[in-house]
Amino acid sequence: MQQKIITRATSYFMAHYTKKYLHIEKQTHRGLPTCSENKKYLLYIHIPFCTMFCPYCSFNKFKYMIEEATVYFASLREELLHVKALGYDFDHLVIGGGTPLINEDELIKTIELCKKLFSIEDVSCESDPNHIQKPTIQKLVGLVDRISIGVQSFDDAILKKLGRYEKFGSSNQIYEKIDSMLGMLPLTSVDMIFNFPNQTPEGIVKELEILQSLSPEQTSIYPLMTSSTVSSNVKKTLGEYSVTQEYDFYKIITKTLQKMYPSQHGWSYSKENDVIIDEYIIDNKEYVGVGSGSFSFLNDTLYLNEFSLERYAELVAKKGSAVTKMRTFPRQSQMYYRLMVDLFNGKLSKRRFATEFGVPISQNLSKELWLLKLAGAIKDNGETITTTEFGSYLFMVMMKEFYMGMDYIRDGERKKLGVI
């Protein structure tokens, strides 16, 4: 009972905090700042096209039309040239959507340009189950290091409610598709969602058994996120949403997967240590996003790209940059973010925190640390702070609320386009 009260309070305060801080009002025509430092960042590319929309998805997306997509990819490559001219270099590339492989030829041209322009060491790309046929994957060999397949569920009843059964096939068909392409690329991740309405512990166990039988190198299992934009769609298609069993599901997942996937990184699991790449950009303090509706975070400022496809293309053609808004965050909020992200991953280094902010964490976040200890969420090990089992779940809840908070930004921009 105490843990449920703590979880509800955490969700409430995180929702309040994100609504307060995660909004962008300042218009800008400056674009991204020039980069003069000899450092490498993470590059994120957004491909906003889908042939169908999932009821829980709140990302920037548009119905796929080949003419619009061709123009978009051309603009995307122009924006990459602009970013290069500003002096940026990248060692990691993450491609998300939408459906990145919806036009594989255009995507391949874009990846090849990135590798020509920047010091890319690894590429991670999302995919739905329809775009993992062997001929497609063969084209990605040598270009993509990790493919992340959005399976979401191996339960046919859930797939039917989501509209994915008709589009992507049954759980058995999806299993066979993935099984036939495993090993073609260095890493394959099977991404799933838990805590769907009416999901049961027995159902979770069965899905995990299927996942273990498939045995991909990595898996990510996210809790269902129901921002204000998608909550009515989720209720209409899946049923009434509740977090009553979320912690119980989380414990089943971590206990089941820890033998096969000993390396846990937030909500992602890997067979090997230190090789997890997550589409959710949490490890990189600074990153650049290109494409319609993408975010960049540099120094202490969040930059937002234009959402409209037509306007995005016009801005890139005119000045190379599609940045339209920015928000500089106060130092205290950056400390909160670092605390959340590091402990979402299970460990916070006091030395790293002090180096980054110039003060010990015990000096500026003493009240927060005291409350977390009182809640049984963290352990102070001297040089590091680590999470307990309950703490790992609690910080997952915080991260979930944070990403739902980011949806408020997307909501505002997409409402202007009349697409919500």
Distances (CA, A) of 218 to 181, 224, 342: 14, 19, 20
pLDDT of residue 322: 94
How far is 223 from 400, CA to CA, in rounded Å?
A: 7
Strands (DSSP E) contained in 181-306 are 187-194, 218-223, 263-265, 268-270, 287-290, 295-298, 301-305
Cα separation, 143 vs 43, in Å, equals 15
What does the pLDDT read at residue 39?
87
* Whole-angstrom distance, CA of residue 56 vs CA of residue 385: 34
Q: Report pLDDT digits (tens) over 219-262.
A: 999 998 876 666 777 777 778 888 889 999 999 999 999 889 98
Q: Give me the domains of the chain, ranges plus CATH numbers.
A: 25-270 (3.80.30.20), 331-387 (1.10.10)
pLDDT at 139: 96
Q: Omega of the bond prior to 346 within 30 degrees of 0, cis?
A: no
pLDDT score of 21: 67
pLDDT in 10s for each residue of the chain, 420 residues: 578 788 877 777 777 777 766 666 667 778 899 986 788 999 999 999 988 777 676 677 778 899 999 999 999 999 999 999 999 999 999 999 888 999 999 999 999 999 999 999 999 999 999 999 999 999 999 999 999 999 999 999 999 998 899 999 999 999 999 999 999 999 999 999 999 998 999 999 999 999 999 999 999 999 988 766 667 777 777 788 888 899 999 999 999 998 899 888 889 999 986 555 555 455 567 899 999 999 999 988 989 999 999 999 999 999 899 999 888 888 888 898 899 999 999 999 999 999 999 999 999 999 999 999 999 999 999 999 999 999 999 999 989 888 887 777 776 666 676 655
Cβ–Cβ < 8 Å for 396, 250: yes
